[in-house]
Structure 1
Amino acid sequence: MRSSVLLGLLPLAAATPFRRAPLLTRDNAEEGKYIIVMNQGVQTSSISSVVQSISAEADHVYNAIGGFAASLTEKEVETLRNDPNVAYIQQNGKASIFATQQNAPWGLARLSNRQPGSTTYTYNENAGDGVCVYVVDTGIDVKHPEFEGRATWVATVFGDVNEDDHGHGTHCAGTVGGKTFGVSKKSKLFAIKAFDASGDGSDASMIAGMEKVIEDAPTRECPNGVVVSMSFGGDKSEAALVDAGFFGAVAAGNGDVFGRPLDAGTVSPASEESLCTVGATDKNDKTAYFTNYGKVVDIFGPGVDVLSAKPGNGSQTMSGTSMATPHIAGLGAYFLSQGTPAKGLCEHLQSISLKGVITAVHNSTVNYLAQNGEAA
């Protein structure tokens, strides 16, 4: 019966006008790479003939399904679209497997689950690949095994030792890209020390740190972009980072000297609107008692009792919007590595966040809790 139906359709098929093969686009497509799928019934010899007609060798030939993968020029794509043997051409998109980390720190787990309390972190194994993350802080213990050789010391912007003798910067770097504690476990980490062993700096040292990022980044291999994680900052120099095409995450701040929250719009660098300003929550999705608030706060991330790396091959817990910020910097690297542009990335994080789940949020502040988009 099936054969008779097919035979009955042959005259109709013969009368059907020729239609160019469609070109299917993909997110995260590899430039110049395509998959060519032939019409059903096309002989292997015909596939070989088409392969021989292009300038590059085929990356793969699919005899079973009828087609091949290859690098093509735009002219070759158009020529093949006019070949009656070709069913369609598809851009070759990048694909990645996903991993699940068991017994993950609560902050990591919160990024990939819709409900609090989970201990698993589901993430793209290639997260952060090709992205350079600058941590402007107290430095990074670049030899810490947590960083697997992916951490590099760039500069100390004042006369001080080239090591993290405080611990804050190493902790932040661990949250961004550590193998155990990190959001984006393949990112490259770069240390710029702008604060001393007491955690003190100056406007001059902070601005110098920003300048160093802008000077150094073009000398590095960062094919998928640059992220700057700033738990502190000064004046309006941070806007230059965004002008350079970088994604910047910055802490909203931890209130006044008594720990009483302030309007983040009065605090630099959180007041710089071109940056992604981060408030802090605890493991129960309540705003941290110290977190600043206001219309300049863009998103919230885990910031209370966050476990991460400690200089000397150790680990420790810390709290602060400084701890929430590297979660967002890590997410910046996560999505840059998947092809999301830096411009509009903060808005993208807002769009995929959990909305309305945070309690005790100031009425002038958004209720957006960060996610990596992998929650089931």
Structure 2
Amino acid sequence: MKINRFSPKILLITVFSLLLVVAWGAASGAAQGPVVQGPPPVVTPEIVPGEIIVKFQPNVGRLGAQNSLQAEGLRPLEISPETGLIRVEVKPGQETQAIAELLARGDVVYATYNYKIYALGNPNDPSYGSQWGLNNAQDHDIDAPEAWDIHTGGSSVTIAVIDTGVDLDHSDLQAKIVAGKDYVNNDSLADDDNGHGTHVAGIAAASGNNGIGIAGVSWGAKVMPLKVLNSAGSGTTADLAEAIVYAADNGAKVINMSLGASCGSGWPDVEEAINYALGKGVLLVAASGNNYSTPVLCPGAINGVVAVGATDSNDARPSYSTYGAALDVAAPGSGIYSTYYGGGYTTMSGTSMASPHVAGLAALLRSYAPGMTSSEVEALIKQTTDDLGSAGWDQYYGYGRINARRALERIALQISPAQPVLFIDDDPGVASSQVRVITPNSEPINWSASISPTVSWLTLSPPISGSVSSTSTNQFITFNATKPQGGYDLYLATLVLTGTTGSGVTVGPIVAQVQLHYVPEVKTLYFPVFFK
């Protein structure tokens, strides 16, 4: 027996505060001067041309705000009844100048672009609608689109798929495959000659929102193909043990094993390999088996491995799904549409399809909160399931069917706007800005913020820590900037957020790029007054 381890009509105005200014006398084009290194570049968001969003100080009032805008030659288009933000018309192409003009006033809290926003929940992959396990009308799914609103998965996490190999040229997988190994043919090209491994890899980590095929649970995770099963789908525990060690030694943070057999008298070589991987902080996931009975097969039954049973589109256990004392959780496994070798797609059923749903979720969590240990990730997955069958743990569903939204919400710590931006010129030579700390978690998260590495031109005003929950409205981080010593340019720094939930789970580190635009002068532009 395995010992379980717990070691409508809506005004969509998104304010990212990307506050760009126009510098007269600065060189044109991208600055090549001093840039303080921050996190990787972010994708530039699209803006609505000819519009900006403005927030005035509370004491100005709505009528006063409208009068102030008209005095500046700007025409208010709409005042949001929910937020009080004002949508303002400007000449297309002059959004940046208008923002700079308004920010020079003393009565404006912020002015920003009106960014185009897109629902992140549903990707544009044409066959996404066939993936009932990610989202369906009956909600017998893992709530993937809701989870993707928080995080879609990062490339910092690699999932080792120990299986029949992976189609190395598949358009939905090719860009994310890292070096692997073929233990069947003793070479480095773990190409799939069966189809099973490709199907598994797509469930966990097919490229999402790329306009092709399907979406994996983690859009960004890398895939390490390790072939231990031949074209007939069979292999040896010796190769399995080697593959586990290879994965642990080569950067995999999650291992998926949609394979198994009876434990017999024990799998000591595989157990040793599993313990080695656990010691390296790897999370291991395996299918429970498809033998219509009990007990759970190995390697899923080995202590330290998350054993996964299957559910169908009715949230029921299919008769084939192996159950027993070693079962940890369940996930969609019947009629699962995914990638297939030869560049295609197909539908397959089994606990082999359930397991990579869990591996993909583990990758989502580990890329969103890299400070979490593998045991914390495992415990979080179990604690946030949708309970099925008997209340609490039972031998047919384990702790329940996984729920990606609930798991991510438990550790979600974010800032709004998502990218802090400040501007500064020679007079007065100082600038400040605020972002709000938010979470969808109803359980409080104790958070702290820092600039790391430190930079001379940017500090945080106290308080730099607090406690935030889904009902909080008063958690803010204040940035204070002074003129950098390097001259007019774009400067970058990194805000680091860390936290701890009330139950002791580590959150983060969450990083955000902070931009400072240092320019010689902010030019005031005047626009004609327009009346409807």
Coarse TM-score class (shorter-chain normalised): 0.5 to 0.7
Q: Report which of the two has the higher share of helix.
A: 1
The worse-fitting range, judged by mean Cα deviation, of 163-172 and 364-373 is 364-373
Cα deviation code 1:283-317 (max 9, x no counterpart):
11111211111221110001111110011110011
Do structure 1's residue 169 and structure 2's residue 193 form an aligned pair? no
Cα deviation code 1:252-300 (max 9, x no counterpart):
1112xxxx31211xx3211112121101111111112111112211100
CA distance in 2, matches of 1:137, 1:145: 19
Residue matched to 2:139: 115
Cα deviation code 1:28-64 (max 9, x no counterpart):
xx99xxxxxxxx9xxxxxxxxxxxxxxxxxxxxx986
Do structure 1's residue 243 and structure 2's residue 267 form an aligned pair? no
CA distance in 1, matches of 2:235, 2:196: 13
Q: How does 1:323-334 map to 2 (within 5 A)?
A: 323-334=353-364
Residue matched to 1:143: 169
Change (3 A) 1:97 1:129: farther
User: Could you tell me the TM-score, scaled by structure 2's length?
Assistant: 0.47
CA distance in 1, matches of 2:309, 2:334: 11
Do structure 1's residue 299 and structure 2's residue 329 form an aligned pair? yes
Q: How does 1:363-374 map to 2 (within 5 A)?
A: 366-373=398-405
Aligned residues of 1:251 and 1:270 also touching (Cα < 8 A): yes
Q: Specify the SS of the correspondent of 1:195.
A: coil
Q: Specify the SS of the correspondent of 1:285.
A: coil
Q: Specify the SS of the correspondent of 1:261.
A: coil
Aligned residues of 2:389 and 2:396 also touching (Cα < 8 A): no
Q: Specify the SS of the correspondent of 1:287.
A: coil
Do structure 1's residue 127 and structure 2's residue 185 form an aligned pair? no
- Consecutive unaligned residues of structure 1, counting only runs of 5 or more, are 1-29, 32-39, 41-61, 67-95, 218-224
Find 2:248's aligned residue among 198, 214, 219.
214
CA distance in 2, matches of 1:132, 1:305: 26
Find 1:279's aligned residue among 299, 309, 327.
309
Cα deviation code 1:203-257 (max 9, x no counterpart):
211112112112322xxxxxxx7111111265312232212101111111112xx
The worse-fitting range, judged by mean Cα deviation, of 169-178 and 208-217 is 208-217
CA distance in 2, matches of 1:148, 1:195: 20
Do structure 1's residue 356 and structure 2's residue 380 form an aligned pair? no
Change (3 A) 1:306 1:103: same
The worse-fitting range, judged by mean Cα deviation, of 140-149 and 314-323 is 140-149
Supply the RMSD in Å over aligned alpha carbons: 3.3
Over the matched positions of the two proteins, sequence identity in percent amounts to: 25
Do structure 1's residue 187 and structure 2's residue 211 form an aligned pair? no
Aligned residues of 2:144 and 2:404 also touching (Cα < 8 A): no
Q: How does 1:1-376 map to 2 (within 5 A)?
A: 65=109, 98-101=120-123, 103-109=129-135, 115-116=139-140, 121-124=145-148, 125-159=151-185, 162=189, 163-179=191-207, 180-217=214-251, 226-232=253-259, 235-236=270-271, 237-255=273-291, 260-264=292-296, 267-339=297-369, 340-356=372-388, 366-373=398-405
User: Could you tell me the TM-score, scaled by structure 1's length?
Assistant: 0.65
- Consecutive unaligned residues of structure 2, counting only runs of 5 or more, are 1-37, 40-57, 59-102, 111-117, 208-213, 261-266, 410-439, 441-532
The amino acid of 2:169's aligned partner reads K
Q: Which portions of structure 1, spanning 4 or more consecutive aligned residues, are displaced by more than 6 angstroms?
A: 117-120
Change (3 A) 1:120 1:238: closer
Q: CA deviation at 1:332?
A: 0.2
Aligned residues of 2:339 and 2:345 also touching (Cα < 8 A): yes
Q: CA deviation at 1:151?
A: 1.2
